[in-house]
């Protein structure tokens, strides 16, 4: 009885270690800034509970069009540096026990390379050049515009500073223009770090925000990582059997770029509904789903070391490299 009990204890603590997760894309900085504007941090208690199993993450501050910022988030005066300074300070206050990489999504409001360096000095280490709309730097899926000359300058400056380039949200033209530039910079001796923080396989779910095989391969050739997003519309068009279909995305992309380059991402938008009443599709696998069911399903295909890489280790290594 005693040896069996000891074995059960070992397995129990092993499982506790495995299910400590990394989240490659969580809009936590945006949420904290919205709490600051409302002068109400009661929602932070919910976040602390929701993120109790998250050991490390990429914490994101995102920017949409001015109209959408005003309508959805009630933000009218946009000062990127001030918003970043306030939100990262609040992160350190409420979530300082977590390993983190600070990120900005949608760089249209970053004035120029000088302001980018100012943000770097405040802790910025990852940028998504665009959101869904067209910007002065490039475009998301609402436009066919490619990478602009200003976009090329801001990417080169970011790479030179040591900021990683996040390719999620780019339309095809902006994506391939960026890949070409990043390959050229790498060939010139720059330390190029890339990822797609929250994207799945287009072949399995034909959402414009997902990546086709050639894009996945291009990221892999740059030794980049991909965060598989557990948000329903990017998993399956009908948003059904989310766990099984999400697992299929993991297996599919891992087969292309390797076990060391896949991560977990939630892109949880529940706060927009909870705080502002915005009608968001929140069909997703949250951290609790991932821990309770996905890890068990992963065991049918991967060993414990590989599972640990997928749900935590790969992401933490990316943070440490920054």
Q: For residue 170, is it within any domain?
A: yes
Q: For residue 13, is it within any domain?
A: no
Q: For residue 288, is it within any domain?
A: yes
Mean pLDDT of 19-46: 94
- Look up the CATH number of the domain holding residue 230: 3.20.20.140
Number of domains, the chain: 1
Question: What's the alpha-carbon Rg for the chain, to the nearest Å?
Answer: 19
Q: How confident is the model at residue 159 (pLDDT cuts 50, 70, 90)?
A: very high
pLDDT at 173 over 70: yes
Supply the pLDDT for residue 163.
98
Q: Which residue segment(s) compose the domain that 101 sits in?
A: 20-321
pLDDT tens for 87-101 read 999 999 999 999 999
For the chain, what's the residue count? 322
pLDDT tens for 175-219 read 999 999 999 999 999 999 999 999 999 999 999 999 999 999 999
Supply the pLDDT for residue 4.
53
Q: For residue 262, is it within any domain?
A: yes
- Work out the mean pLDDT of the chain and round it to a whole number: 91
From 23-32, 244-253, 281-290, the region with the lowest mean pLDDT: 281-290
Q: For residue 283, is it within any domain?
A: yes
Q: For residue 3, is it within any domain?
A: no
Supply the pLDDT for residue 321.
84
Q: For residue 2, is it within any domain?
A: no
Task: Compute the C-alpha angle 265/234/134, nearest 5°.
Answer: 90
pLDDT at 286 over 90: no
* Residue keyed to tokens 């090329």: 152
Supply the pLDDT for residue 7.
44
Q: How confident is the model at residue 322 (pLDDT cuts 50, 70, 90)?
A: confident
* Residue keyed to tokens 């990852």: 126
Q: How confident is the model at residue 282 (pLDDT cuts 50, 70, 90)?
A: low
CB distance 165 to 104 below 8 Å: no
Q: How many CB atoms lie within 10 A of CB 256?
A: 17
Q: For residue 70, is it within any domain?
A: yes
pLDDT at 42 over 50: yes
Supply the pLDDT for residue 280.
65
Supply the pLDDT for residue 271.
81
Share of the chain above pLDDT 90, in %: 80
- Nearest Cα neighbor of 290 from 250, 236, 233 is 250
User: Edge to edge, what strands does the sheet with 21-26 contain?
Assistant: 21-26, 54-62, 99-105, 124-128, 164-166, 194-196, 225-229, 262-265
């Amino acid at each position: 009885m005693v040896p069996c009990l000891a074995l059960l204890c070992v397995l129990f603590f092993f499982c506790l270690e495995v299910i400590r997760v990394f989240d490659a894309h969580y809009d936590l900085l945006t949420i904290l800034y919205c709490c600051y504007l409302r002068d109400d941090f009661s929602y932070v208690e919910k976040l602390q509970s929701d993120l109790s199993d998250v050991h490390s993450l990429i914490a994101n501050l995102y920017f949409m069009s001015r109209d959408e910022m005003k309508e959805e988030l009630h933000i009218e005066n946009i000062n990127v540096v001030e918003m970043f300074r306030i939100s990262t300070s609040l992160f350190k206050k409420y979530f300082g026990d977590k390993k983190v990489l600070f990120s900005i999504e949608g760089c249209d409001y970053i004035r120029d390379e000088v302001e980018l360096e100012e943000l770097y000095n405040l802790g910025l280490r990852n940028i998504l050049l665009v959101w869904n709309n067209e910007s002065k730097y490039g475009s998301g899926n609402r436009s066919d515009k490619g990478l602009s000359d200003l976009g090329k300058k801001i990417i080169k400056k970011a790479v030179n500073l040591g900021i990683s380039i996040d390719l999620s949200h780019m339309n095809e033209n902006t994506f391939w223009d960026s890949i070409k530039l990043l390959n050229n910079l790498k060939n010139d001796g720059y330390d190029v770090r890339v990822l797609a923080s929250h994207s799945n396989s287009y072949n399995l779910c034909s959402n414009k925000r997902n990546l086709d095989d050639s894009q996945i391969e291009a990221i892999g050739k740059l030794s980049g990582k991909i965060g598989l997003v557990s948000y329903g519309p990017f998993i399956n068009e009908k948003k059904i059997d989310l766990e099984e279909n999400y697992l299929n995305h993991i297996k599919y992309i891992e087969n292309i770029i390797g076990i060391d380059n896949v991560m977990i991402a939630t892109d949880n938008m529940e706060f927009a509904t909870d705080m502002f009443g915005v009608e968001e599709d929140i069909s997703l696998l949250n951290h609790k789903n991932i821990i309770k069911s996905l890890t068990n399903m992963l065991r049918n295909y991967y060993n414990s070391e590989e599972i640990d890489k997928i749900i935590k280790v790969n992401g933490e290594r990316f943070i440490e490299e920054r």
